[in-house]
């Protein structure tokens, strides 16, 4: 704002710059100043960028983002507000896995008939620290060039920051390599799920018909819509924690086992997850994995995973299904990938990214098991990938027929 005029009629000062109330401090010491939104305080995490134009509430409640700070490349985030239905974490009352959020434009008033709260208030309620008013294109370009950096995001309404301390904290943060973040987001006890998909005017449904199959879903950070699609496909769904033993899974007598999405380094989670999966495969139980579950299945058969330079985060990723030749527009969220060169002879690569050629799916030739790196339940296509749930059901049908 302009300061008061002096007696000559001219302004005695110049423009008064608005004071920054939030900062993003990268591990290399770079400081980006903006204006705070959401919760006050500090949060730490790995900074990634997401290219989705819609679905920000689902993204911010996706347990797979545990330990990360999300930069949205689309400038206008928050214009449809938030509601109580578009939450992906199973425990709606729990804190979000995501640590922080970075936006370009200021959050506007919500303008959607489903909105029950504006995004800023929602971020505060979920204790997510946010920052707006920076050039997210420049930050995205930095991530593309240098990879995903660790950072500290801080929000202080008074604009008071100890930058030296923040830089030291950012520089000392551990790499995502070797981090098992699943314990932060997995369920703590077994439960059943029978909610089905959403329809206009009715909301989410409940399973009515007698389920055809019993699916045990191992929860590494499962998303609600995955469970809904399994229920809609005629499956009785029992969700078990990531720490469930093979004996506990097999005692439920599943017709199929689902391996869910989740955060962190798959090799670290695999220390306790892989032995369970190997036992399931030995029993030749139909198995379907998504995202981290895809990586877990791959590790279980002897493949390796590797950290990606910038990861895949967005709702516009083209993936080719090599078994049909079709191209799907998919939703992705992963910072690690399966190295296709390490796949064993009994694992066939079924899907591949058309952005960078990275592996996006496998199927076993000697066991009824398959998995994909992307999220078929997220519906960016919008239903390009729903056939995978039908493929899983067919596999269970065939398993019962052979039995």
Active-site annotation holds for 377: yes
Catalytic residue among 313, 317, 377, 386: 377
Beta carbons of 286 and 255 less than 8 angstroms apart: yes
Active-site annotation holds for 375: yes
Query: What DSSP character marks residue 73?
Result: S
| Rounded distance between C-alpha atoms, residue 287 and residue 392, angstroms | 8
Return the SS3 of 215.
Answer: strand
381 carries a ligand binding annotation: no
| Rounded distance between C-alpha atoms, residue 143 and residue 47, angstroms | 8
64 carries a ligand binding annotation: yes
Q: How many angstroms separate the Cα of 235 from the Cα of each of 160, 188, 395?
A: 54, 22, 13
Number of neighbouring beta carbons within 10 Å of residue 81: 22
Catalytic residue among 291, 334, 351, 360: 291
Please measure the distance between the N-terminal and C-terminal CA atoms of the chain and give it in whole angstroms.
77
**Dihedral, CA of residue 37, residue 40, residue 46 and residue 52, to nearest 10:** -20
| Rounded distance between C-alpha atoms, residue 73 and residue 53, angstroms | 8
Beta carbons of 306 and 336 less than 8 angstroms apart: yes
289 carries a ligand binding annotation: no
**Closest by alpha carbon to 62, among 185, 155, 160?**
185
Beta carbons of 37 and 72 less than 8 angstroms apart: no
264 carries a ligand binding annotation: yes
β 256-259/287-290 pair status: parallel
302 carries a ligand binding annotation: no
Beta carbons of 155 and 129 less than 8 angstroms apart: yes
191 carries a ligand binding annotation: no
314 carries a ligand binding annotation: no
**Closest by alpha carbon to 319, among 355, 369, 295?**
355
Helix (H) or strand (E) holding 298: helix 292-300
| Rounded distance between C-alpha atoms, residue 298 and residue 296, angstroms | 5
292 carries a ligand binding annotation: yes
Residue 297 — left, alpha, or beta (φ > 0 → left; ψ -120 to 50 → alpha)?
A: alpha
Catalytic residue among 213, 294, 375, 386: 375
Q: Which residues contact 271 (CB under 8 A, 6 or more apart)?
A: 180
| Rounded distance between C-alpha atoms, residue 257 and residue 391, angstroms | 13
- What are the catalytic residues? 291, 375, 377
Binding residue numbers for L-glutamine = 64, 262, 264, 292, 295, 333, 335-336
Binding residue numbers = 64, 262, 264, 292, 295, 333, 335-336
């Amino acid at each position: 704002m302009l300061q008061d005029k002096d007696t000559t009629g001219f302004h005695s000062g110049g423009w008064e710059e608005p004071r920054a109330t939030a900062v993003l401090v990268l591990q290399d010491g770079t400081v980006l100043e903006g204006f705070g939104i959401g919760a006050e305080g500090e949060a730490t995490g790995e900074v990634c960028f997401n290219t989705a134009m819609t679905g920000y509430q689902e993204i911010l409640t996706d347990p797979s983002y545990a330990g990360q700070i999300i930069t949205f490349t689309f400038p206008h985030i928050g214009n449809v507000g938030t509601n109580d239905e578009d939450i992906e974490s199973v425990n709606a009352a729990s804190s979000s896995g995501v640590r922080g959020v970075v936006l370009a434009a200021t959050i506007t008033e919500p303008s959607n008939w489903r909105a029950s709260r504006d995004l800023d208030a929602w971020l505060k309620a979920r204790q997510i620290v946010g920052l707006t008013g920076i050039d997210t294109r420049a930050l995205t370009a930095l991530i593309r060039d240098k990879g995903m950096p660790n950072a500290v995001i801080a929000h202080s309404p008074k604009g008071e920051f100890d930058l030296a301390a923040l830089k030291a904290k950012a520089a000392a943060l551990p790499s995502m390599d070797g981090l098992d973040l699943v314990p932060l987001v997995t369920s703590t006890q077994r439960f059943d799920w029978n909610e089905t998909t959403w329809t206009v005017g009715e909301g989410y449904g409940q399973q009515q018909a007698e389920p055809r199959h019993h699916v045990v879903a191992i929860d590494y950070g499962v998303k609600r819509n995955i469970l809904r699609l399994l229920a809609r496909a005629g499956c009785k769904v029992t969700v078990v924690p990531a720490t469930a033993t093979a004996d506990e899974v097999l005692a439920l007598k599943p017709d199929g086992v689902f391996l869910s999405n989740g955060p962190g380094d798959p090799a670290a989670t695999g220390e306790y997850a892989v032995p369970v999966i190997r036992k399931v495969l030995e029993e030749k139980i139909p198995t379907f994995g998504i995202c981290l579950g895809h990586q877990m299945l791959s590790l279980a058969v002897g493949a390796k995973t590797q950290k990606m330079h910038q990861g895949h985060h967005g709702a516009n990723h083209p993936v080719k299904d090599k078994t049909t030749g079709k191209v799907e527009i998919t939703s992705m969220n992963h910072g690690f990938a399966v190295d296709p060169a390490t796949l064993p002879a009994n694992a066939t690569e079924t899907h591949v990214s058309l952005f960078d050629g990275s592996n996006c799916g496998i199927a076993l030739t000697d066991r009824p098991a398959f998995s994909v790196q992307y999220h078929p339940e997220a519906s960016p296509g919008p239903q390009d990938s729903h056939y995978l749930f039908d493929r899983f059901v067919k596999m269970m049908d065939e398993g019962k027929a052979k039995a």
